[in-house]
Structure 1
């Protein structure tokens, strides 16, 4: 499918929710959660009621609705309800401070923000000085009463495939989050290219996301892609921990596990330390594949995961700017350590400086409120990713770091990710981060290492020196208990510099 194949009149909610009812899949399970299962018929009704409630609050077409609530059926219904009335959805993390929410409120200019009891206090403090906010809608008992009074019938707004549908926030290493603005057609093309073309998503799939739904990576995989074929997603409000993920696998028997390398390492550690406890080492035979994204998946971690759990891992990379995953390993042809091959529908080339340039019809239109950055990043359907890659003769891409992470040592550019990949190959290293440090005006490399057991600094330096060019070994090694990460789970090097 391409952009030209999509009819001009198009709405995300009618395609991914209502269509299941129209095509006879209304009684199939759409969502599994603490309250049991929610059928497509019930979800469609909740979407309609949510859309009507938002409309009654004055939400107009193209107006932003900011969601600041935990994973739930209500989250999904409100997201699609906003889409159905032609509004624009944006999501914020649920663990931020009032000053952070104040930024989101001002940046989005949302007239309505949806919170829950865990985020309400921070949101209300943030809203005190808001120029745009009209209503804070809290998903509590009173919300359920208001929802029950809203009409279960809703005609979709006359949206087109080119109308703005959603914002995806970037998690850049510096500055405040920026929103990549996407039209209605981006989710559909991503579903066709990645979910169907790579994952082979099917009607009997049940998807369990480790990241929360405010991350586009998780929301699309758990509450959009399965809906394209009548599959199901799992929603749970608690923080993701190895114990909770193991419990959900045992309870719901998912077929696809949406994961990130950090949690994969934690699950392995928990299984190793509790191998005698069946609750913590469940039968994972229902899981046909595990996706990984957010940061590079080291080969060593990939191999340990497959050996321990017997589940194939499809590592990939995507971005808010390109909508979702555009390079991924594929079932049956995984090359451990690589990021995989191009997802059907995308083209790519590597610039002279090693930066990956990706072209596809899911590219965002622009960054909201940042014309200068938009012009640098978006060139038609082409996106400057800021990621450094190499491509081998078989078409597989190998991640080499970020353009803005490069360190110039002795006049030679060094990619921290290359040193990190080497270090995690050492049996005593759990994870690590490499940054540049200043010593008498000279830039040197420093490695922060989380060790599995005591190990000498010199041993790690020698390990790298023997495997990489001499100028790439870390001149200093510092041992730490853990590494700082962004809210999306990515390594946060700026906190180490």
Structure 2
């Protein structure tokens, strides 16, 4: 399996592949959407091809063409699928963005990338409006889900458009996705993926790990705006000729189980946090999962207790996997292989992954080191946009350094040990401490602060902030709530510190740098005792 060879074509466009599939399977269901109220909307592959073509024609009419960068801020909608495909058809660069982003986040992405257009759901337009005049490259604003003064309407634009469009013949090495990911310092990094990336992802991760078979319904719970949505709900399902099940509702473990019992969902891909909450539901034996045969998880380590519970009640082995925004899946517990609970699994077919030391040399079995990937691996990103310095720092000799540490056993299974830097992973979200700290210090009462990862039984970890107040007498629960709301208002709400400790001072190096590692170690020791 490790000898897998990929022959990536010189020209490739994922939307053309989907169009071709739609030609031979026009009536097959591509997307099944349901909300909390039980409303249902669907798209067949023929309808998906037609609507994405209408959108591509509308984009062309608005001057959105090959190479233009377009920030997409839409939630779980039926139309999210044709929106992404239509942008691919014209050769535009898709910038996935969560609807949880705030004005500052959006403005940074638009200006950093030089985005020409923003496509946003009406519910997030209020966060876009304040920065309209601050983005010189921005010429086109398109609303989805309703009319808005000063914005073009997606629904109106596609109405009456031709239902045929020949996708641009893009090169496999052309930029296709520009996803932003948090860093420990500075703003988020723009991760460049090319048109050839979906071709690779389908043949490795979607085949050996995600496991969707043609004609099956698959539910991957990741939301649009995240790299994982591109991985599984989008490329992993459509690329395999499956049906994407979409639930547009708040998370509830019991509701998830009810949906799995109600619908012919064959494959489930959820976060460890979601699996942990499902495993805690009383009376799991009440739920007879209608068609579920395969389950996988990614985003953070999956604990053994959850795997055991799912096996006991549903006869399913949840297969953990590991990857990043900068790549596709790198390591996983694959279909037909032996799952070692608590392990990330083994390196993906055709991908060389090793544990290395600071000199770039592989360490002995069982020894902790940096998880690294051969920098020629086809699953890797092309680089960070406009950031050669951080791109260079991601490499060590012939290796790409993931920033995570682990160890490899005698059978090639890799075991996660923790982040090598200060990045916080909470409920599958990757959060840079700088973003949290930058928001906190903008509060007039905060003198300085530090944000670190703190262990949590449900979320894996939470954001914990240590805050030095200008006036210590203000410390208290009221100030905690005030600071939490302050952060939610300035940046995406999932980044807010769920715990805040007020301290007199922060540990620092002799040069004055805050020692987050010391705070993080103290949190780990306290929570694990």
Band the TM-score falls in, shorter-chain normalisation: 0.7 to 0.9
Q: Quick one: structure 1 residues 4 and 388, their matched pair in 2 at CA, closer, same or farther if it must change by over 3 Å?
A: closer
Q: Whole-Å Cα distance in 1 between the matches of residues 53 and 465 of structure 2?
A: 53
Aligned twin of 2:10: 8
Q: Quick one: structure 1 residues 434 and 212, their matched pair in 2 at CA, closer, same or farther if it must change by over 3 Å?
A: closer
RMSD: 3.0
Q: Which shows bigger deviation, 128-137 or 246-255?
A: 246-255
Does 1:211 find its partner at 2:204? no
Per-residue deviation, 1:325: 1.0
| Contact residue 365 and residue 378 of structure 1 kept, 8 A | no
Q: Which shows bigger deviation, 99-108 or 233-242?
A: 233-242
Q: Quick one: structure 1 residues 348 and 431, their matched pair in 2 at CA, closer, same or farther if it must change by over 3 Å?
A: closer
Aligned twin of 1:193: 204
| Contact residue 210 and residue 245 of structure 1 kept, 8 A | no
Q: Quick one: structure 1 residues 145 and 343, their matched pair in 2 at CA, closer, same or farther if it must change by over 3 Å?
A: same
1:40-189 → structure 2 map (5 Å cutoff)? 40-141=45-146, 142-189=153-200
Q: Whole-Å Cα distance in 1 between the matches of residues 130 and 33 of structure 2?
A: 30
| Contact residue 317 and residue 339 of structure 1 kept, 8 A | yes
1:94-493 → structure 2 map (5 Å cutoff)? 94-141=99-146, 142-269=153-280, 271-272=281-282, 275=283, 282-322=287-327, 324-332=328-336, 333-353=338-358, 354-359=369-374, 360-378=377-395, 382-405=399-422, 443=518, 445-447=521-523, 474=525, 476-477=526-527
SS at match of 2:222: coil
User: Aligned pair count?
Assistant: 428
Encode CA deviations 1:334-353: one digit per residue, 9 max, x unaligned: 11000001111100121125
Q: Whole-Å Cα distance in 2 between the matches of residues 216 and 311 of structure 1?
A: 26
| Contact residue 342 and residue 415 of structure 2 kept, 8 A | yes
Per-residue deviation, 1:226: 2.0
Aligned twin of 2:25: 25
| Contact residue 363 and residue 381 of structure 1 kept, 8 A | no
Encode CA deviations 1:63-120: one digit per residue, 9 max, x unaligned: 1111001111211111111111111101111112222221122122221111112111
Identify unmatched segments of 5+ residues in structure 2. Answer: 35-39, 147-152, 359-368, 424-451, 467-505, 510-514
| Contact residue 30 and residue 45 of structure 2 kept, 8 A | yes
Q: Whole-Å Cα distance in 2 between the matches of residues 224 and 439 of structure 1?
A: 45
| Contact residue 189 and residue 384 of structure 2 kept, 8 A | yes
Q: Whole-Å Cα distance in 2 between the matches of residues 30 and 356 of structure 1?
A: 37
Per-residue deviation, 1:439: 7.7
Per-residue deviation, 1:184: 0.8
Q: Whole-Å Cα distance in 1 between the matches of residues 179 and 112 of structure 2?
A: 13
Q: Quick one: structure 1 residues 386 and 145, their matched pair in 2 at CA, closer, same or farther if it must change by over 3 Å?
A: same
Q: Quick one: structure 1 residues 130 and 296, their matched pair in 2 at CA, closer, same or farther if it must change by over 3 Å?
A: same
Q: Whole-Å Cα distance in 1 between the matches of residues 223 and 390 of structure 2?
A: 28
Q: Quick one: structure 1 residues 440 and 231, their matched pair in 2 at CA, closer, same or farther if it must change by over 3 Å?
A: closer
SS at match of 1:204: coil
Aligned twin of 2:436: none
Per-residue deviation, 1:381: 8.0
Identify unmatched segments of 5+ residues in structure 1. Answer: 407-415, 449-473, 480-497
Per-residue deviation, 1:243: 4.1
Aligned twin of 1:460: none
Per-residue deviation, 1:435: 8.9
| Contact residue 221 and residue 233 of structure 2 kept, 8 A | no
Q: Which runs of 4+ in 1 moved over 4 A?
A: 1-4, 378-382, 429-444
Encode CA deviations 1:141-173: one digit per residue, 9 max, x unaligned: 553232122221112112111111111222335
SS at match of 1:246: helix
SS at match of 1:207: strand
Q: Quick one: structure 1 residues 346 and 48, their matched pair in 2 at CA, closer, same or farther if it must change by over 3 Å?
A: same
SS at match of 1:400: strand
Per-residue deviation, 1:253: 2.6
SS at match of 2:43: strand
State TM-score, norm by structure 2.
0.74
Q: Quick one: structure 1 residues 381 and 73, their matched pair in 2 at CA, closer, same or farther if it must change by over 3 Å?
A: farther
State TM-score, norm by structure 1.
0.79
| Contact residue 29 and residue 45 of structure 2 kept, 8 A | yes
Q: Whole-Å Cα distance in 2 between the matches of residues 63 and 381 of structure 1?
A: 32
Q: Which shows bigger deviation, 230-239 or 154-163?
A: 230-239
Q: Which shows bigger deviation, 306-315 or 344-353?
A: 306-315
Q: Quick one: structure 1 residues 386 and 439, their matched pair in 2 at CA, closer, same or farther if it must change by over 3 Å?
A: closer
Per-residue deviation, 1:32: 0.5
SS at match of 1:236: strand
